[in-house]
Amino acid sequence: MLNVPETRQQQLLARLASGEQLIAQDLAAEFGVSLDTIRRDIIALEQQGRAQRVRGGAVSTAPASAPLQYRVPANAKAIEAIVARASSSIDAADTLLLDGGTTVLALAERLQPKPGLLVMTPSPWVAVACQKNGVEVFMLGGQLSARGGVNVGDTALLATASLYADIAVLGVCGLDAEFGLSVDDQQEAYLKHAMSRAAKTTLALASREKIGRRARHRAVALEEIDCLITDAVPAEVAAFGSSAMEILHA
């Protein structure tokens, strides 16, 4: 039955679901088909949004996140630990460029005012959280993304390009050693990239389930991220060892 494309692709999906990376050459030998056949299977899965091609094979894509207003943090304790570590890392900054997402929002809710502190953000949720705490806010305009809850599009990108921040704090849908920081929405990917370029330092916040995963759109290359704060244990981030990115464990 392995000469039937649908049967092969279901087996490939099962392996991806178990966390296995697909190695095209090995699969061709195992299934007794040509390398081109396996490549066509992988392309078909990628077109369905169920796999991400990499050199020599494919990996699983991260499932799309629910819209921000419907998200319930899967591990509130982990988020709290990440946010606590991030709070100390940004304490000396005067200008912060804060992304959207549940973890960055949790960080914004902890911010306290200090002389000269300004938060710039495309997220209405983050802006309101900062304002409630008495922190000065500059809001980036644009069209509100239904999924990510941040303003996107040309207006947001042009505004971000004219800014400078000490630190950009980015949320993560996936963070992979080869693919970098990725997100579900292309417009949000453009925005994160612009935010990273506008800041002296780029800080990524990623819970352990985001490590090693790839969402649909790459936003920031790994070499452009200065620091990662995560609750993942050292073995789970070992693949990042060859990069210059600092890793802080929450």
- Domain extents in the chain: 5-59, 68-249
Phi first, then psi: what are they for 69, rounded to 5°?
A: -65, -15
pLDDT of residue 92: 94
pLDDT of residue 69: 47
Using one digit for the tens of pLDDT, what is the confidence trace for 110-120? 999 999 999 99
Rounded Cα distance between 239 and 111, Å, is 32
Q: Do domains 5-59 and 68-249 have the same CATH topology?
A: no
pLDDT of residue 215: 87
pLDDT of residue 214: 86
pLDDT more than 90, % of the chain: 60
Using one digit for the tens of pLDDT, what is the confidence trace for 146-197? 777 899 999 999 999 999 999 999 999 999 999 999 998 899 999 999 999 9
pLDDT of residue 19: 60
Answer whether residue 60 shows pLDDT above 60: yes
pTM: 0.74
Which homologous superfamily is 68-249 in? Answer: Translation initiation factor eif-2b; domain 2 (3.40.50.10470)
Nearby residues of 139 by Cβ (< 8 Å), 6 or more positions away? 120, 121, 122, 124, 127, 151
5-59: what fold? Arc Repressor Mutant, subunit A (1.10.10)
DSSP per residue over 109-129, as a string?
Answer: HH----TT-EEEES-HHHHHH
Answer whether residue 66 shows pLDDT above 80: no
Residue 3 DSSP class:
T
What are 250's two structure tokens?
């929450």
Window from 74-78, 150-154, 243-247 with minimum mean pLDDT: 74-78
- 249 CB-contact burial (10 Å; exposed 0-12 / middle 13-18 / buried 19+): middle
